[in-house]
Amino acid sequence: MIEAKPRLSMNSKTAAASIEISKHKRDGLNVATNHDTESTTESNAGFEPGSEFLKVKEMEIINSTCSGRLEKAFLLASAFLCGFGYYMDFITRSVYTGYATSSYDEHALLSTVQVINSVVSIGAQIIFARLSDFYGRLQLFSTGTVLYIVGTIIQSQARDIRTYAVGAVFYNSGYVGVSLLLILVLSDMSSSKWRLFYQFAASWPCIIICWVSGDVVQAANPAKNWPLDIGMWAFVFPLSALPFVSFLLYATRQASKTVEWKEIQDEKETHKTSVAHWIQYIVIRLDVVGTILITASLGCILVPLTLAGGVSNDWKKVGIIAALVVGVVLFVVFLAWDIKFARNAVLPFKLMKDRGVWASLVAAFLEKMIYAMISDYLYPVLLVSVNESSKSATRIVWLPTFAACTGSIFFGLLVARTKRLKPYSICGVCLWVISIGIFYHYRGGASSHGGIIGASIVLGIGSAIFTQSLIVNLQTMTSHKNMASITGLYFMFAQVGSATGASISGAIWTQTMYKQLEKQFKNSNLAMIAFASPYEFIASYSWGTPERTQMIYAYRYVQKQTMLVSLILTAPLLVFVLFTKDIKLGDTLAGETIQSDQDPMLTWVRNKFKKLKAMWKWTS
C-alpha cells in the first residue's frame, strides 16, 4: 500500500500545517520541535550564513511535487533495488572477510576488522548526516558511492590484514553514507505513520538475498576467489543505485519548475559568502574536533580489546595499555569539549535531556551491541560445531534478517493503522530474551541445527518489531531541519553499540578460545593451527574425528560465555525501551509532527504503582 497525497503548493501546505499545529496547541499539546529548535538556535548563535537548511526546504518541495502514487511506487522500487545491491554485497562480504583473514592466517582478527568498520562508521554517520542538510541528499549519496567503490577495490587487491583494514575504512564510510542517505530520503518523502513502512522498503531485498546468498557464496568459492568476489561489487553496486539516483534527478527537475524552488535559488544567491567563511561554518557545524575525538577515543579503547589475547597474552604489553589509557583520556577530553566549547556538539545535551531521546539512543546502543555479540562468530560456530556447509551456514546467519524483513511488511502496515510503536517494541525485546535463551541451549553438535534455526527466526521477528521503531520514534520528536542530525545521532549510537559488541565478543573469543583449544588438544601446535585457521583445520579433520570433537567442546564453551553476557544485557535493554515515549503517529509531514507528553503505557504503570503503594499503606 502506497500513501497518496494531494498535490499542494508549499504555501497551502504550510498553511495547513499551521492550522493543524494551532489546533493541537489549543488542545493542550506541545509541538515536538520546541526544544530542538531552541538548542539549534543557541548552538549556532553568532554564526549563521543565512543559507542554512535550504537543502531541507528543497526536499520539502520535492515531496510536495512528487506525491502521486506512481512517483511513490517508483521511489519504493528504486530503494528496493539500491538496497538489494548493498545488502547482497554486505551479506556476502561478511563471509568473504572471514576467508580473507583466514588466508592471512589472522582469522582471530576478524572481530578487529569489524570493530574498525564500526569505529570508522561512527565519524561517517555524523559527517554524512549533517552535510546532507547543506550539500543535498543526492550530492552526499554520490560521495558515498565513490567511497564505496574505492574501498571495494582496495579490499579486493589486499594481500595482508592491514591493507584489507584500510579498504574497510573507505568501504564502510561509503556504505554508511549510502544507507543513511537512502533512509533520509525515504523519511523526507513520507508522513510519520507511514515512515516505518517506507524505511523498511530498503531492507525488503533481504527476503530474497538471505536464501540466494548461500548459493552465491558456494558458487563463488571464496576460499580461492574471495578477491574477485569482493571486487565485482565496485561495478555491480553503482548499477543497482542508478534507478534511485534517476528518481532524485527527476524529482529535482520537477521541483525546479515551482515558484518556491526559484525563490530558494534566489535566496542562495543573496547569501553567497567567501570560501574561507563557508569552510569555517562547515567545520563548526560538523564539530570536527568533537568528531575526531570521539572516533579516536573509541578506536583506542575498543580495538585493543580484540588484539590482546590469543596465542600470546598481550595485556601486559606497553602498546595495549597505552592505547587504552589514551582512549579514556581522549573520551574525557571529548566530553569536556562538547559540554564547554563546541558550538554544535556531536552530542546535543539539551536535546538529550528529553526522556524519549536518551532512552531511544541508549536502547539503540544496547540493541546493536547484543546483536553483534550474537552474530559476529555465528558463522564459524555453525561450520565447526554444527557441521553446516558454507551454503547452509550463510543462510542461517542471515535467517534473522530474513524473518525481520518478511515481518516488516505486515508490521509497517500495522503501525500505519494503529499509529503506535512502544507496545510492539516491548514485545520485540521479550522475543529477544527467548531467542538468546535458545541460542544458549543449542550451541554445538548436530542436534543444534533445528534449535539455532528456531532461535534465529525468533530473533528476526523481535528485530522487525522494535529495531527500526526506535528510529521513527526519534524522528517524530524533532523538526524536519534537524531530522538528519538526529537520525545520524541514532546511527552513531548504534555503531558504537555494534563496535562495543564486536569488541566484547572478540575479547571473549581471543581470551578464551586458544586456552580452551589447548586444554582440549593438550597440544599447543595443533591448538595454534585450529585457532589461527579454523576453516583449513576442519577441512583436514572431518566430522566425527577425535580432533574435531575436541574442537567442538572448545567452541561450545566460548559460545556459552558469549550468549550468557548477551542474555544479561537484555535486562537493561528492556528497561530503556520502557522509558521511551509512546508517541501517536499521524498524517503530518516530516517537519510537522505533533507530540503529546502523555504516555498511556507509562501512565498505566504509574497508576498501578500508586494503587500498590496505597494498599501497602492501608495494610501497614
Give the span between the Cα atoms of 276 and 351, in whole angstroms. 30
Is the distance from CB of 466 to CB of 494 less than 8 angstroms? no
Give the other-Cβ count within 10 Å of 341's Cβ: 11
The confidence score (pLDDT) of residue 37 equals 40
The confidence score (pLDDT) of residue 38 equals 42
Residue pLDDT, tens place only, 179-216: 989 988 888 888 878 888 888 888 899 888 878 877 88
Q: Which residue has the cell 550474537?
A: 374
pLDDT of 217 higher than 90: no
Residue pLDDT, tens place only, 80-107: 999 999 989 988 887 788 778 777 766 5
If you ran DSSP here, which 8-state letter would residue 585 be given? P
Give the span between the Cα atoms of 25 and 30, in whole angstroms. 6
| Cell (9 digits) for 247 | 528518481
Q: Which residue has the cell 546502543?
A: 365
pLDDT of 50 higher than 60: no
Give the span between the Cα atoms of 123 and 346, in whole angstroms. 10
Type and span of the H or E element at 37: helix 34-43
End-to-end CA distance of the chain: 57
Q: Where are the alpha helices (DSSP H) in 398-523?
A: 399-418, 422-441, 448-475, 483-521
Q: Where are the alpha helices (DSSP H) in 221-317?
A: 222-231, 233-255, 259-270, 275-286, 288-307
pLDDT of 20 higher than 60: no
Give the span between the Cα atoms of 606 and 11, in whole angstroms. 43
Domains detected in the chain:
58-260+284-581 (1.20.1250.20)
Residue pLDDT, tens place only, 321-356: 787 888 889 889 988 888 888 777 777 777 777 888
pLDDT of 360 higher than 60: yes
Angle at 348 between CA 345 and CA 352, to 5 degrees: 160
Per-residue confidence band for 313, with pLDDT thresholds at 50, 70 and 90? low
| Cell (9 digits) for 123 | 565519524
Give the span between the Cα atoms of 538 and 512, in whole angstroms. 19
Q: What is the pTM of this model?
A: 0.76
If you ran DSSP here, which 8-state letter would residue 309 be given? B
Give the span between the Cα atoms of 390 and 375, in whole angstroms. 16
pLDDT of 312 higher than 60: no
Give the span between the Cα atoms of 140 and 128, in whole angstroms. 7
The confidence score (pLDDT) of residue 23 equals 42
Type and span of the H or E element at 362: helix 355-375
- Stretch 155-177: mean pLDDT: 87
Give the span between the Cα atoms of 52 and 54, in whole angstroms. 6
Most confident of 109-118, 295-304, 586-595: 295-304
- Stretch 602-608: mean pLDDT: 67
The confidence score (pLDDT) of residue 14 equals 39
pLDDT of 491 higher than 60: yes
Per-residue confidence band for 454, with pLDDT thresholds at 50, 70 and 90? very high
pLDDT of 608 higher than 90: no
Is the distance from CB of 388 to CB of 429 less than 8 angstroms? no
Type and span of the H or E element at 351: helix 349-352
Residue pLDDT, tens place only, 230-257: 999 999 999 999 999 999 999 888 888 8
Residue pLDDT, tens place only, 109-129: 665 666 677 677 777 888 888
The confidence score (pLDDT) of residue 604 equals 65
pLDDT of 582 higher than 50: yes
pLDDT of 607 higher than 90: no
Is the distance from CB of 122 to CB of 287 less than 8 angstroms? no
Rg (alpha carbons) of the chain, rounded to whole number:
25
| Weakest mean pLDDT among 148-152, 336-340, 461-465 | 336-340
Per-residue confidence band for 432, with pLDDT thresholds at 50, 70 and 90? very high
Give the number of residues written for the chain. 620
Give the span between the Cα atoms of 620 and 610, in whole angstroms. 15
The confidence score (pLDDT) of residue 314 equals 57
Per-residue confidence band for 26, with pLDDT thresholds at 50, 70 and 90? very low
CA distances from 127 to 231, 290, 491 (A): 26, 11, 12
- Stretch 369-384: mean pLDDT: 89
Q: Which residue has the cell 558515498?
A: 144
Q: Which residue has the cell 508517541?
A: 583
The confidence score (pLDDT) of residue 33 equals 42
- Please name the amino acid found at residue 216: V
State the average pLDDT for the chain.
Answer: 79
Is the distance from CB of 468 to CB of 199 less than 8 angstroms? yes
Phi and psi of 598, rounded to 5°? -75, 145
Phi and psi of 533, rounded to 5°? -135, 75
Is the distance from CB of 369 to CB of 500 less than 8 angstroms? yes
| Cell (9 digits) for 181 | 542517505
- Stretch 168-177: mean pLDDT: 90
Residue pLDDT, tens place only, 66-84: 777 888 899 999 999 999 9
The confidence score (pLDDT) of residue 237 equals 94
Those residues with Cβ within 8 angstroms of residue 290's Cβ, 6 or more apart along the chain or in another chain: 334, 337, 338, 342, 345, 346, 347
The confidence score (pLDDT) of residue 252 equals 86
The confidence score (pLDDT) of residue 112 equals 65
Instruction: Give the dihedral of Cα atoms 51, 52, 57, 59; nearest 10 deg.
Output: 110
Is the distance from CB of 222 to CB of 96 less than 8 angstroms? yes
